[in-house]
């Protein structure tokens, strides 16, 4: 049976542009509402510990006004856990965070603070929040994710996209994603993918059938400069639906 594939639109970089000048525009809420109208299945925001793009008030207002599900990306810290419990986004995706990185460079280290992670997952799920873990496409990490109670895994596609963009061989990286996705689905996880995806890379990755959700941000916002947010989202939706 063909599963319906979803597009999560990450609007962090609307806030990046706003913050570059300390103005009130462009407004991430406005972007979230346009994305909603243009066919996005969910909106993703990453509230970083250093609040470099999305701010606490963005989370508050977007959660209040949005009709489609809100996916909050956050690191596994007590502060972020409290924020998630307070605002109750529909989904949480737990990601690693390094202060000096430009973007989320790799998947979670599931051997670090595993009991804390397990506790966070359990408590978020008790509040009816769907919990995903952002991991490297490795079967061992898929197994641990299932063991510690995650509902979903989001496979990091950054390495694949870098290889593709630099015209390097992608076969083994693609296979790792495919194997991890197939295994994840087999053991009952919902499998997502994200990071660095463009029209071209998504055309390949979306052929991996067990992947049911794609979270895409930087390229959508970059494309919006030329064709607008609505058209960019519609192009991605068309690719996903095959």
DSSP state at residue 3: P
Q: Which of residues 43, 110, 133, 134 is near ligand PXP by CB under 6 A?
A: 134
**Does 75 interact with ligand PXP (rule: CB under 6 A)?**
no
Residue 208, SS3?
A: coil
Which residue lies nearer to ligand PXP by CB, 58 or 154?
A: 154
d(CA 27, CA 71): 18
d(CA 195, CA 216): 7
Q: In b/e form, how buried is each residue of 76-91, taking b as 16+ CB within 10 angstroms?
A: beeebbebbeebebbb
The verdict on whether 223 is a catalytic residue reads: no
Residue 11 CA to its chain's centroid (Å): 11
Annotated catalytic residue within 13, 53, 73, 154: 73
In the block, which residue shows the tokens 């991605």?
Answer: 236
Q: How far is the CB of 236 from ligand PXP (least distance, A)?
A: 10
The verdict on whether 218 is a catalytic residue reads: no
The verdict on whether 112 is a catalytic residue reads: no
Contacting residues for 26 by C-beta, under 8 A, at least 6 apart: 14, 17, 18
Residue 183 CA to its chain's centroid (Å): 20
* 135 beta partners: 155
Instruction: Return the range that interacts with ligand PXP (CB under 6 A); candidates 61-69, 122-130, 202-210, 214-222.
Output: 214-222
**Does 89 interact with ligand PXP (rule: CB under 6 A)?**
no
Q: How far is the CB of 233 from ligand PXP (least distance, A)?
A: 13
Contact 191, 146 (CB under 8 A): no
**Does 217 interact with ligand PXP (rule: CB under 6 A)?**
yes
**Does 95 interact with ligand PXP (rule: CB under 6 A)?**
yes
Q: How far is the CB of 1 from ligand PXP (least distance, A)?
A: 26
Which residue lies nearer to ligand PXP by CB, 36 or 104?
A: 104
Can you give the binding site for ligand PXP, defined by CB under 6 A?
Answer: 10, 12, 46, 73, 93, 95, 103-104, 134, 154, 194-197, 215-219
Which residues are known to be catalytic?
46, 73, 195
């Amino acid at each position: 049976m063909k599963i319906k594939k979803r597009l999560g639109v990450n609007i962090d970089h609307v806030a990046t542009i706003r913050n570059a000048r300390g103005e009130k525009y462009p407004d991430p809420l406005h972007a979230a509402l346009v994305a909603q109208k243009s066919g996005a299945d969910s909106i993703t925001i990453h509230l970083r510990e250093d609040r470099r793009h999305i701010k606490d008030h963005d989370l508050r207002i977007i959660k209040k006004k949005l009709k489609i599900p809100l996916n909050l990306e956050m690191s596994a810290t007590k502060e972020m856990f409290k924020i998630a419990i307070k605002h109750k986004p529909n989904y949480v995706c737990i990601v690693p965070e390094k202060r000096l990185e430009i973007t989320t460079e790799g998947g979670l280290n599931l051997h670090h603070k595993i009991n804390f992670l397990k506790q966070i997952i359990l408590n978020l799920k008790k509040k009816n929040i769907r919990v995903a873990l952002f991991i490297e496409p490795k079967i061992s990490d898929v197994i641990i994710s299932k063991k510690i109670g995650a509902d979903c895994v989001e496979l990091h596609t950054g390495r694949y996209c870098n290889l593709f963009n630099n015209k390097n061989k992608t076969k083994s990286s693609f296979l790792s994603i495919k194997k991890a996705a197939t295994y994840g689905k087999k053991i009952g996880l919902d499998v997502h993918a994200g990071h660095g995806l463009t029209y071209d890379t998504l055309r390949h990755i979306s052929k991996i059938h067990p992947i049911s959700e794609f979270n895409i941000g930087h390229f959508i916002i970059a494309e919006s400069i030329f064709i607008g947010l609505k058209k960019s989202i519609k192009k991605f939706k068309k690719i996903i639906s095959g």
